[in-house]
Amino acid sequence: MSNMNKRLDISVVVPLFNEEESLPELVAWIDRVAHENSLSYEVIMVNDGSTDNSAKVIEDYKAEQERLAKEKADQEERDRQEAIRLQQEKEDAERKAREEAERLAREAAASVDTKIDAVGTVKLDSEATIVLARNAYEALTEEQKAYVTKLIVLEKAETELSNLKAEAARIAEEARIAEEARKTKEAEDAKKRSEVATKKAELEAQLAKAKKKSERLAIMAQLAALEEDDEDEEDEDITSDETETSTEVETETVVKPVEEKQEENKPVVEEK
């Protein structure tokens, strides 16, 4: 037997003469040993003028080996073609799986883009829509995220919302401070009015008990001054800061005649 298609491990040379009966056993033994040791081999039979059927045995053996070799080659070709077919089917299945995954990824990304479009003009009440879009984006796989086309729009909306919330917080804090200042001012005004009322009550009690005219005039002047101060405080509560300045000037000019009146009254009392 000879195999010229590939590199052989061994070559077995068999010189023979009238070995018709022993040849089948010999080649069977060679074949078994070679296969047990995973050796590729060839058998070269040298017929040394045999007069029996050795030549026919060799030809029959050669024909059988060629048949077996052809069957093996045919089977190997069929196996190769089957392997190619299976590999092609595998590649087709993988390609279809990739295409389907890409289609699903694009659909998922398009859904996120739609949620981002729904944000529209950013306002304080846009937070729920923005959070919904962000959560939908974060739920995507890395492959799906690659197909999102409006991530920059979402990030810009998040920045604008953050700025709006910061501005709203600033305005709210200013309003809180202003409200606290208003309440403090109201408390101070209430306290001052209470003190004025107490003082007026004391002066009115003193006026009721006063015997001399000079004492009564002095007490009445103090009461007039208290009333004017109270009126000035009320005016300040309903005017702006600029008006408050002008009101203070007017208050001074109003009080001065009272002081002058008190000075004019004093000599009159002394003369009496």
How many CB atoms are closer than 10 A to CB 56? 11
Q: Which residue has the higher pLDDT, 51 or 3?
A: 51
pLDDT tens for 23-71 read 999 999 998 999 899 998 889 999 989 999 999 999 998 898 889 889 9
Q: Scan for tokens 């009322």, then name that residue.
A: 197
**Residue 212: pLDDT over 90:** no
What SS3 class is residue 48? coil
Taking alpha carbons only, the member of 157, 149, 171 closest to residue 126 is 157
pLDDT at residue number 270:
38
Q: Which residue has the higher pLDDT, 6 or 166?
A: 166
**Residue 93: pLDDT over 60:** yes
Q: Scan for tokens 């070709």, then name that residue.
A: 77
pLDDT at residue number 254:
38
pLDDT at residue number 6:
64
